[in-house]
Amino acid sequence: MKHRGPNAEGFYFAENDTVGLAHRRLSILDLSTAANQPMFSADGRYCIVFNGEIYNFKELQLQLADKGTTLKTSSDTEVILELFIQQGTRCFAQMNGMFALAIYDTREKILTLCRDHVGVKPLFIYQDKSTILFASELKVIKSMMGEQLTINKEAIPYFLHFGFIPQPLTIFNDTVKFPAAHYTQVDVGQQNFNESSIQYIPFWKLEQVIESSIITNESAAKKQLTGLLFEAVEKQLVSDVPIGTFLSGGVDSSLVTAIASKISGSNQLNTFSIGIDDGKFNESKYARQVAAHLQTTHHEFKVKENEVLELVDQLIPAFDEPFADSSAFPTMMVSRLAKQHVTVALSGDGGDELLHGYGSYQWAKRLAAPHWQLLKAPVYAGSRMLNSKYQRTGNMFAYQNKRNIISHIISGSRS
């Protein structure tokens, strides 16, 4: 996994060789070797490997300081470890960030695994009668299990239908995607593993957050959304390495870039975009306009369509399992461009999912309308639109009330 963690590597093996932890590091906070992983607690009892970033780690540092805890690094990794020692699994709900982590209690022989609130960071887990493997990439499990890992034929129809393999399935048998907002604790001392060895326990539920924070006043909703967006971007700008933004010129990436430039200063912000010279869909001009308006230091990489197609062989191993979203091509290219200048980049990914911005949401609303409403709107009326097939399609995607809206968002976040 050196391609994702180029700065350091570390290993831990228990004395009896029943547990092994490995980590590749991309240094973002506290660049010193003291923050390398696996990291041990001060008393040597707990060991952690962690992928991600905790955006509210400074607030959590203050909590620890109030309890008399002295930290030896300024990394968020140590904050997680010490918080876990004091609070156990209750600490996960307090962590604002993206993370997949493992903490091993060397005394009690308990391994704790956890994945962030909405599953931003990947975590895969394999289990048979004698072995449990976990990693943030499927290729790690594949490299360890070799030919014993077989194709999961049940996952193929889902891929053909959705263009990806939804949680909890993966392309391999006996291997699943660890559920978001859950943790598990495994007794490593047991001789054999079975279905009850791994119990996924939720530490946060999106339904409860939505039900407790419905806002009916539009002005109040806009004010709160603005505050949340500024807070989120500001927290993600905390870094000990250079930061930039991916800028496509669309609403989401432009909004993130505008907020970041206001917080950090326009001339200090690097923005990155991809332009396809001979492509049908070239939106780089919009990115240039936004960059010019915000006065960022803009970098644009122009490519030809045939150069994009040459990435196919590199994308397949990067994703580890079938994935049919064509946005993967420009994402990989703009990431390579950004890497020449910065270590961390913010993007607008997720905005359409959270705010129902895709065209399919609007079509679902139209198709789900009763027949008499369609007849009032000639642009949608006609025998084809009144076909029961289209009616059923619309009903399937429609969200008629608050309960359905919650279900819709949850199903989207779990993809």
What mean pLDDT do residues 342-355 have?
87
How does pLDDT run across 201-228, given as a tens digit for each residue? Answer: 999 998 888 777 778 888 998 999 999 9
pLDDT attached to residue 211: 76
Is residue 146 a part of any domain in this protein?
no
Residues 323 and 390 in one domain: no
117 has pLDDT over 90: yes
pLDDT, mean over the chain: 85
Q: Where is pLDDT greater, at 415 or 126? A: 126
- Domain presence at residue 303: yes
Say yes or no: 295 and 404 in one domain.
Answer: no
Same domain? For 341 and 357 the reply is no
User: Is residue 202 domain-shared with residue 54, that is, in the same domain?
Assistant: yes
**Gap between the Cα atoms of 283 and 25, Å rounded:** 34
Query: Do 287 and 182 share a domain, yes or no?
Result: no
pLDDT, mean of residues 293-314 = 86
- Reported as a pLDDT band with limits 50, 70 and 90, residue 41 is very high
Q: What is the pLDDT of residue 351?
A: 85
My answer on whether 63 and 194 are in the same domain is yes
Looking at the chain, the whole-number percentage of residues with pLDDT higher than 70 is 86
Q: Which contacts of 22-26 are long-range, i.e. CB under 8 A and separated by 24 or more positions?
A: 22/49, 23/49, 23/50, 26/343
In this model, does residue 375 exceed pLDDT 70? Answer: no
| 187 Ramachandran zone, left/alpha/beta (phi>0; psi -120 to 50) | beta
**pLDDT grade, residue 135 (50/70/90)?**
very high
In a shared domain, residues 237 and 338 = yes
Q: What CA–CA distance (Å, rounded) separates 130 from 392?
A: 47
Domain tally, the chain: 3
pLDDT in tens, 142-199: 999 999 999 999 999 999 988 999 999 999 999 999 999 999 999 988 768 887 889 9
**Mean per-residue pLDDT, 247-274:** 90
- What pLDDT does residue 392 have? 58
For residues 221 and 185, membership in a common domain is answered with no
The answer as to whether 53 is a domain residue is: yes
For residue 291, count CB atoms less than 10 angstroms from its CB and return exposed for 0-12, middle for 13-18, buried for 19 or more: buried
Q: Which of 328, 349, 370 is the last residue of a domain?
A: 349
For residues 220 and 189, state if they share a domain: no
Across residues 316-339, what is the average pLDDT? 89
Residue 378 has pLDDT above 50, yes or no: no
Domain assignment present for residue 55? The answer is: yes
CATH of residue 236: 3.40.50.620
- Sorting pLDDT into bands at 50, 70 and 90, what band is 268? confident
Mean predicted confidence (pLDDT) in 130-134 = 93
- pLDDT higher for 80 or 318? 80
Q: What is the pLDDT of residue 408?
A: 47
In a domain, 145, yes or no: no
- Whether 284 shows a pLDDT value over 70: the answer reads yes
Residues 74-99: tens digit of each pLDDT: 999 999 999 999 999 999 999 999 99
* 380 or 11, higher pLDDT: 11
Does the pLDDT value for residue 414 go beyond 90?
A: no
Better-predicted residue by pLDDT, 196 or 375: 196
DSSP letters for 260-279: HHHHH-GGG-EEEEEEETT-
Quick one: pLDDT at residue 350? 84
Domain shared by 52 and 189, yes or no: yes
Look at residues 350, 354, 348, 98 and name the one whose alpha carbon lies nearest to residue 210: 354
For residues 328 and 300, membership in a common domain is answered with: yes
Statement: residue 37 has pLDDT above 70: yes
Q: Which of 329, 349, 369 is the last residue of a domain?
A: 349
Of 41-45, 81-85, 411-415, minimum mean pLDDT range: 411-415
Domain-embedded: residue 268: yes
- Selected residue with higher pLDDT from 359 and 138: 138
Q: What ranges make up the beta strands (E) of 116-260?
A: 124-127, 132-135, 175-177, 182-187, 201-202, 243-246
Better-scored residue on pLDDT, 100 or 391: 100
Q: Above 90 in pLDDT, residue 303? A: no
Residue 282 sits in the same domain as residue 380: no
Residue 169 maps to a domain: no
Which CATH number do you get for residue 201?
3.60.20.10
pLDDT at 379 over 80: no
List the domain range (segments joined by +) for residue 14.
8-123+178-206
Whether the CB-CB separation of 106 and 14 falls below 8 Å is answered with yes
Distances (CA, A) of 289 to 101, 254, 292, 334, 363: 40, 10, 5, 18, 30
Residue 161 lies in a domain: no
